[in-house]
């Protein structure tokens, strides 16, 4: 019988070992590549938090998640974290790299400013995830969600 994973560090190690991921310097990834994985990780955190608020119809959980997994909400989260100076200089630099990246895709339901800001937030999420800083990632996302008054 396999052991249960009881910590974020153990999860990260398990993931790397099981998927046979090679060691890569995260700083070599483009900011848009970081945003690509960061988008998925952010959505997983949000869905987990939504489910943790109690079992309800899947449609209701989806609606609540969709309100948070969009450019407008993500832009608001990172703005609050920046205003409150919750980010380290390295995290701010990573966010700015993502925000300033020239994306080919365009925003469908958001302003260009919100879309670019959200891309920076997603890049930060991806950076923290790929560096194994899962505790910091979850902490920042949770703070951001609290600051925008969601999931209460």
- Beta strands (DSSP E) in the chain are none
Q: Clarify whether 84 is annotated catalytic.
A: no
CB of 148 closer than 8 Å to CB of 73:
yes
Q: Which of 133, 121, 138 is nearest to 39 (CA)?
A: 121
Can you tell me the distance from the alpha carbon of 146 to that of 80, in angstroms, rounded to the nearest whole number? 10
28: tokens are 């070599």
Q: 13, 17, 25, 39: which is the annotated catalytic residue?
A: 39
Helix (H) or strand (E) holding 152: none
Between the CA of residue 136 and those of 13, 58, 60, 71, 125, what are the distances in Å? 16, 29, 28, 21, 10
Query: Catalytic positions, please?
Result: 39
């Amino acid at each position: 019988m396999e052991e249960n994973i009881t910590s974020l560090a153990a999860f990260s190690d398990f993931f790397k070992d099981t998927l046979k991921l090679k060691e890569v310097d995260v700083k070599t990834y483009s900011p848009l590549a970081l945003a690509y994985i960061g988008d998925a990780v952010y959505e997983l955190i949000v869905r987990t938090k939504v489910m943790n608020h109690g079992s309800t119809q899947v449609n209701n959980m989806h609606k609540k998640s969709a309100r948070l997994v969009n450019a407008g909400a993500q832009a608001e989260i990172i703005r609050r974290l920046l205003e409150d100076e919750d980010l380290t200089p390295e995290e701010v630099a990573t966010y700015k790299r993502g925000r300033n990246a020239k994306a080919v895709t365009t925003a469908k339901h958001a302003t260009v400013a919100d879309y670019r800001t959200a891309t920076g937030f997603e890049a930060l999420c991806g950076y923290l995830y790929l560096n194994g800083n899962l505790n910091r990632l979850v902490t920042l996302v949770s703070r951001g969600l609290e600051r925008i008054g969601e999931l209460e």
